Amino acid sequence: MKKVSRIILGLLFAYSSSIQAQNVDSIFSIAVNNAEQHHYETAIQKAYSALSIDPKRADILVFIANVHSWQNNNDSALYILQKVRNLNYVHADFYESWLNVLLRMHQYEALLNACDEAKAHHYSNSEDILHKKFIALSMLKKYNQAIELAKLPENKKIINNNTAINALVTDLYINRNNNILSANYTLDFFDYFAAQHIGSISYSRKTGKNTLLIHSNFASRFGLNDLQFEGDFYWQFAKNQYMYFNYGYGLNATLFSRHRIGYEYYFSLNHGWELSVGGRYMIYPITHVTTITGHIGKYLGKGWLSFRPFYVFQKNTQSLSFIADYRLYGNNRFNYWGTELGFGNSPDDIYSTSQTNGFNQLNAYKIKIEKNFLVDRVSEFHIGLGYTREEFRVGTFRNRYTIDLGYKIHFY
């Protein structure tokens, strides 16, 4: 009789536990549905109701932490995840949530340690661990450590098969290599005139948040040759604000100005807007030219749209020209297609420099298509094809066909 009673009690307990588990899962399912509909507070309340029935359900605690994080309450999320960790719950959902919350909180040192712990406890999502490590090391500017991590044989396949991680590794190389050597060449063809050439060799170095560039520009146009030496300095003095300074010296001052001075103040606004305002002052042997310029730009998804006007004062005349650019980026900021539309001539445009008083008064209509792409992780190539319908005497137009070529190498 006692044996039968024990069997009946066991069956009743098992049945009761099964009903309880079904109730917990049912309530938890409602909480998940509420979260999917962005009813976060209701989702948290339902999850705690389920947890009150079965306090050992660490997976429900992980869900609650996720909902807090989706509401940007990452402090609460991290507190709950620490409780889960103390319960020795080392399942994949915990590590996925923990790494995400630490990333959103910008706790990069803690994130690195968490990645190591996740790997030690056999968290199977190797892509997630590697991706988070690269982000943390990049934000901590530990570029050499990140690059050594990327070179490990077990990581190469992950990098090559994941577009986002691959692009991130390229950024690591580029950000570490703070020196750039570049060469550019432009060839202009005309209907009835000799071809014109212009080229430049540049070196730039980034030190901290500031960048110094040195250029040498060569031009062979209109039967004349000229050489210009130029320096640029970009000074970032505050978050999302920097200044541009420029000085150039023309050796012969036949095509380039004898002296060129530039200044521009750049600043960013919310929602992807960037603006600038500045000026250029050029001294030629027979005239001085002042240009007021600036730009307004806006990020549109993977695109960038900008507009730059030039208002030129030269002796007793004024002129207005503008350039509009659009770029569509690929998987990183170095791979893009671009389109440029322009109207008018400005002495700030190195291709249109002239000391003659009337040239900037003449009309010109321009279009250019360009492509920039990475050759490998440290070098990039640029090609552009342009067409200009330009007035070279009042009422007389000619066609200009342009080929732009450029190459950059980033080195450490």
Helix (H) or strand (E) holding 115: helix 108-120
pLDDT band at 23 (very low <50, low <70, confident <90, very high): confident
Q: Compute the average pLDDT of residues 214-237.
A: 94
What percent of the chain clears pLDDT 90, i.e. is strictly above it? 74
What's the domain range around 228? 179-411
pLDDT band at 353 (very low <50, low <70, confident <90, very high): low
Q: What is the pLDDT of residues 140-168, one digit of tens each?
A: 999 999 999 999 999 999 999 999 999 99
Q: Centre a 10 Å sphere on the Cβ of residue 126 and count the other Cβ atoms it contains.
A: 14
The separation between CA 215 and the C-alpha centre of its own chain, rounded to angstroms, equals 25
Q: Are residues 126 and 203 in the same domain?
A: no
Domain boundary among 130, 155, 175: 175
* Contact call for residues 256 and 219 (beta carbons, < 8 A): yes
- The pLDDT, as a whole number, for residue 361 is 60
- The pLDDT, as a whole number, for residue 13 is 41
- The pLDDT, as a whole number, for residue 12 is 35
Please state, in angstroms and rounded to a whole number, the distance separating the CA atoms of residues 259 and 290.
12
The DSSP secondary structure of 321-360, one letter per residue, reads EEEEEEEEE-SSTTSEEEEEEEES--TTSGGG----TTGG
Upper half-sphere CA count for residue 45 (Cβ side, 13 Å): 5
| Structure-block tokens of residue 110 | 């803690």
262: which strand partners? Answer: 246, 280
| Structure-block tokens of residue 401 | 């066909």
Q: Are residues 259 and 364 in the same domain?
A: yes
Helix (H) or strand (E) holding 318: strand 317-329
Residue (of 118, 211, 222, 131) closest to 171 by Cα position: 131
Q: Are residues 347 and 405 in the same domain?
A: yes
Higher per-residue confidence, 119 vs 221: 119
In the three-class reduction of DSSP (H, G, I as helix; E, B as strand; rest coil), residue 54 is classed as: coil
- Residue 8 confidence (pLDDT) above 50: no
- The pLDDT, as a whole number, for residue 108 is 97
- The pLDDT, as a whole number, for residue 194 is 87
Burial status of residue 294 (CB atoms within 10 A of its CB: 0-12, 13-18, 19 or more) = middle
CB-based contacts of 14, cutoff 8 Å, min separation 6: none
Q: Are residues 258 and 358 in the same domain?
A: yes
Burial status of residue 154 (CB atoms within 10 A of its CB: 0-12, 13-18, 19 or more) = exposed
pLDDT band at 363 (very low <50, low <70, confident <90, very high): confident
pLDDT band at 22 (very low <50, low <70, confident <90, very high): low
Q: Are residues 236 and 121 in the same domain?
A: no
Burial status of residue 225 (CB atoms within 10 A of its CB: 0-12, 13-18, 19 or more) = middle
- Residue 398 confidence (pLDDT) above 80: yes
pTM of the model: 0.81
Residue (of 341, 350, 344) closest to 321 by Cα position: 344
Q: What is the pLDDT of residues 74-124, one digit of tens each?
A: 999 999 999 999 988 989 999 999 999 999 999 999 999 999 999 999 999
- The pLDDT, as a whole number, for residue 3 is 52
Q: Are residues 373 and 255 in the same domain?
A: yes
Burial 43-56 (b: 16+ CB within 10 A, else e): bbebbebbbeebee
Domain boundary among 175, 197, 232: 175
- The pLDDT, as a whole number, for residue 169 is 95
Q: Are residues 113 and 12 in the same domain?
A: yes
Domain boundary among 175, 192, 223: 175
Q: Are residues 248 and 107 in the same domain?
A: no
- The pLDDT, as a whole number, for residue 348 is 61
Q: What is the CATH number of the domain that holds 161?
A: 1.25.40.10
- Residue 68 confidence (pLDDT) above 90: yes
Task: Tell me the backbone φ, ψ of residue 65, rounded to 5 degrees.
Answer: -60, -40
DSSP conformation class of 316: T
- The pLDDT, as a whole number, for residue 145 is 97
- The pLDDT, as a whole number, for residue 244 is 97
Q: Are residues 58 and 120 in the same domain?
A: yes
Q: Supply the angle between the helices 153-161 and 163-176 in degrees, to the nearest 10.
A: 110
pLDDT band at 15 (very low <50, low <70, confident <90, very high): very low
Give the position of tokens 């009690």.
9
| Structure-block tokens of residue 76 | 């609460």
pLDDT, averaged across the chain: 89
Higher per-residue confidence, 3 vs 210: 210
Look at the chain and report how many structural domains it folds into: 2
- Residue 316 confidence (pLDDT) above 90: no
Q: Are residues 236 and 367 in the same domain?
A: yes
Give the position of tokens 């960037």.
274
- The pLDDT, as a whole number, for residue 352 is 53
Higher per-residue confidence, 314 vs 66: 66
Burial status of residue 249 (CB atoms within 10 A of its CB: 0-12, 13-18, 19 or more) = middle
Higher per-residue confidence, 207 vs 22: 207
Q: Are residues 29 and 88 in the same domain?
A: yes
Angle at 80 between CA 74 and CA 81, to 5 degrees: 85
- The pLDDT, as a whole number, for residue 11 is 37
Q: Are residues 265 and 293 in the same domain?
A: yes
- Residue 10 confidence (pLDDT) above 60: no
Q: What is the CATH number of the domain that holds 190?
A: 2.40.160.40
* Contact call for residues 159 and 166 (beta carbons, < 8 A): yes
- Residue 329 confidence (pLDDT) above 70: yes
The DSSP secondary structure of 125-149, one letter per residue, reads -HHHHHHHHHHHHHHTT-HHHHHHH
